Structure 1
Amino acid sequence: MTVHYTVWQSLDRVVRMFVIIIELVIIILILSLVIGVWIISQLSKRLNQPLTALTDSTQDLIQKPKQSYHETLTVPTNPEEVQELGDVFNTLLGSLNDTILKNQQFISDASHELRTPIAVILGHTELLEKHAADHPEIIQESVGYIDDEAHQMQELVTSLLALSRSTKAEAELTTVDVVPIIRTVVAQYQQGQQVVMKLPEKLLIHANAGQVQQILTALIDNARKYSSVETQVTVSAKRESENTVAITVADHGIGISDADKAKIFDRFYRADQSRSKQVAGYGIGLAIVRQLVELNDATVDVKDNQPAGSCFVIRFKSV
């Protein structure tokens, strides 16, 4: 005899339990998503705040109506990466500001130097227009003044062009023997003030031969301008160390004060105006020297000569 049992059980509770679990999971997911988005948003704002502050500082600087070209960006202290970025921006900004200020000063100085000869030419031109017919004796004198000032303007413009070229120039550096270069330059000064040489037989440097010649010519011209005809200008060269060759141009002239030594390579600067105002030139030659020296990976310094005068020392990389 076989007995069969049939058991019936309601699943409503199980279904409701699963529904509740699913609803809880969905609610938890939604809450997690909302809370997660909010937390990420807050963290993002906190992390981006230094960059935002740096951007705002840049925008404020751009929109500033008047700039002194000494401004810097406000750099956050944290995080370290943003601080480093801000410091790099300030370094770049400082370099650009320095270039702008130098260009402004250059334009101002050039305008000042040109103003005097232009005023003289205009003055004598007006004089000729008004009085030449009645006083013909003034014509030759006025034309002489006009001619002198025109030549000075031509010299200034030539110097400015040379300075501009030296600023934009590039140098192809090779191994050159500096001794024959010095001899060639000194050979140009056969008349007037004596230029003597103290040189070894051979001295190799890493430089551009043409620009080395320009540097030496400018320094010898400068030495002759500021020293008496009765004194000598000495050009010497020697190996200072295994990696350095020093070329010295020394004179026994008026010398340069310690305060002026740091400025004489600036454009249009002339040391001791009271004593140098009678000397021809515009204070551009040494600025060109500095530009060419830097192009040749060299250095230039000035020191006192004994018992009087100055020594300009250019140090090149030796070969």
Structure 2
Amino acid sequence: MKTNQKALRRNTAQFQLTRQFSLLLGAVMLFFNLVFILLSIGYLYERLADQADQVFETIEKGHAAKSGWPAVIDVYVSADEESALRVRQADGQVYNSEEATEVFPALATGKIIPLLEGIVLSEEDVYYTKTEEINGDQVTIALNSEASVELAYGLLWISSLLNLAAVVIGSLLIYWRVGKWSQKLTSMAKEITAIESGKSGELTVVREPVEIQSVAISFNQLLKEQRETIAREKRFIADASHELRTPLAAIRGHVKLIQRRSAAHPEVIPASLEFIDKESKRLEILSNQLLDLEKQPMTKQTQTLDVGQLIREVCEKQAIVSTQAIDYVIEEPLMMKGVKTDFQQMVQNLLENAAKYAPAETMIHVHFGQKDQHIYLSVADQGIGIPDDKKDRIFDRFYRVEDSRSSEINGSGIGLSLVKQIADQYQATITVADNQPKGSVFVVDFSKNHLI
């Protein structure tokens, strides 16, 4: 159990982020330590070189003022007892400081440091050696650098300890801070579980961090759309089952009527067959419309179309069968990219809807043109009109205004849903308003960007 808890904790964002932060911080600190070491070595080397140059300058001045090298060496030894000095004259005479007899033999067997000219490691100390010629004599000095090296070494240890403390403290702080941050994710996960169980509610939108806020807003929007979709589908199933059940029950009723009474009363057969034929056609239309609703836009092949010409053709065909006169105004050719059957079906359904609810011998007005930054299609009738509180629902599947349900007007309530679906595919808006003096006006507003 404890092993599982440990494994679970190691997989949390809090642990993962803290580990990544610690590794990155440790790598940065290591890099700066290396830079510190290199800079320290360079600084010490330059300091020793400058010190050697100053020593040679002092020796040269002392030799010029004194009678010989022994006096200069005595002064140098009293000034720096830990370093060594050797003078080799041109005649072969050699003068050594007190430490020189031990230092120079040790340096002869010491280790030379690459890239650092003059640095020699003896068994006990570190020396910087340099040789110059003064007044024809060869002078060699060996500066004891142990104190400087120990100082740099101590500073390096202090820096390393401080860096280690910074990594540890930084890791603890980031672990604590990320824990505060990850609590928001944990709370979000709990809320999602509660929403899934209760089928209600929404995520709390936090102010920060912005990423979690964006996720919460997007999730709530998706949740809203999902619930609306589920509600529509439930309503669709209920309405569809009602619309299909009624004609099927009526057809079966007439079939049973023929089976029971056709032998004794053959006069019922023609009326029943006529009714069955009418209802079966209604079922066929309803089924085709349902299939049209479920068609996927991406399966259709788009092309450049003269939409005005398509609308003119549909109006002319509808005028032949319609009891209302159809007046259409088509402006100059407007080429759009789309699917031919989409525009035909949109106009056909709008005209059929207008014809259903408008009295015979009235006028249906169709206008297709361009205004400002938009192209639009409008279909106006002189029918019974639509109440304001019903205008938002007429594009729902199977929805019909109650006045039309109680009348003898045929229809399935799917035509306007198809119009809305097609409009959505083309990013168009569709609105309905009152016509004057009576009736309704449907307007489909396309963006000018659809023009070719």
TM-score, reference length from structure 2: 0.57
The answer to whether structure 1 residue 300 and structure 2 residue 430 are counterparts is yes
Q: Distance in 2 between matches of 1:32 and 1:52?
A: 29
Do the aligned partners of 1:166 and 1:292 also contact (CA within 8 Å) in 2?
Answer: no
The answer to whether structure 1 residue 206 and structure 2 residue 340 are counterparts is no
Q: Distance in 1 between matches of 2:439 and 2:301?
A: 31
Q: Distance in 2 between matches of 1:300 and 1:29?
A: 67
Which segment drifts farther, 269-278 or 50-59? 269-278
Structure 1 residue 164: Cα displacement: 1.6
Q: Distance in 2 between matches of 1:155 and 1:118?
A: 14
Which segment drifts farther, 277-286 or 209-218? 209-218
Q: Distance in 2 between matches of 1:214 and 1:169?
A: 17
1:78-130 per-residue CA deviation (whole Å, 9 max, x = no partner) reads 43432222111111222222222212211111101111112112222333344
Aligned to 1:179: 308
After superposition, where does 1:1-319 map in structure 2 within 5 Å? 39-62=173-196, 64=197, 67=199, 70-165=200-295, 172=302, 174=304, 176-188=305-317, 189-191=319-321, 192-200=323-331, 202-208=332-338, 210=340, 211-241=342-372, 243-274=373-404, 277-318=407-448, 319=451
Structure 1 residue 284: Cα displacement: 0.7
Do the aligned partners of 1:186 and 1:195 also contact (CA within 8 Å) in 2?
Answer: yes
Query: Any unmatched runs of 5+ in structure 2?
Result: 1-157
Give 2:310's aligned amino acid. I
1:230-252 per-residue CA deviation (whole Å, 9 max, x = no partner) reads 111111223211x2122221111
Q: Distance in 2 between matches of 1:230 and 1:316?
A: 31
Structure 1 residues 85 and 127, CA, compared in 2 at 3 Å: closer, same or farther? same
Q: Distance in 2 between matches of 1:266 and 1:229?
A: 27
Structure 1 residue 53: Cα displacement: 0.7
1:135-182 per-residue CA deviation (whole Å, 9 max, x = no partner) reads 4443333333333222221121111112222677657363x4333222
Compare CA radii of gyration and give the structure with the larger one.
2
Structure 1 residues 317 and 43, CA, compared in 2 at 3 Å: closer, same or farther? closer
Q: Secondary structure at the match of 1:165?
A: coil
Structure 1 residues 166 and 289, CA, compared in 2 at 3 Å: closer, same or farther? farther
Q: Distance in 2 between matches of 1:46 and 1:109?
A: 50
Q: Percent identity?
A: 36
Structure 1 residue 268: Cα displacement: 0.9
Give 2:350's aligned amino acid. L
The total of aligned residue pairs comes to 290
1:266-300 per-residue CA deviation (whole Å, 9 max, x = no partner) reads 11111243566311111111111111112223222
Q: Distance in 2 between matches of 1:135 and 1:287?
A: 44
Query: Any unmatched runs of 5+ in structure 1?
Result: 1-24
Q: Distance in 1 between matches of 2:172 and 2:370?
A: 71
Structure 1 residues 275 and 110, CA, compared in 2 at 3 Å: closer, same or farther? closer
1:19-45 per-residue CA deviation (whole Å, 9 max, x = no partner) reads xxxxxx9xx999999877665543332
Do the aligned partners of 2:315 and 2:326 also contact (CA within 8 Å) in 1?
Answer: yes
Structure 1 residues 264 and 150, CA, compared in 2 at 3 Å: closer, same or farther? same
Q: Distance in 2 between matches of 1:167 and 1:106?
A: 20
Do the aligned partners of 2:427 and 2:447 also contact (CA within 8 Å) in 1?
Answer: yes
Q: Distance in 2 between matches of 1:315 and 1:101?
A: 27
Q: Distance in 1 between matches of 2:268 and 2:257?
A: 9
CA RMSD of the aligned region, Å? 3.1
Structure 1 residues 167 and 255, CA, compared in 2 at 3 Å: closer, same or farther? farther
Q: Distance in 2 between matches of 1:169 and 1:227?
A: 36
Structure 1 residue 184: Cα displacement: 1.1
Q: Distance in 2 between matches of 1:228 and 1:237?
A: 23
Higher relative contact order (CA 8 A, sep 6+): 1
Q: Distance in 2 between matches of 1:46 and 1:104?
A: 42
Structure 1 residues 170 and 51, CA, compared in 2 at 3 Å: closer, same or farther? farther
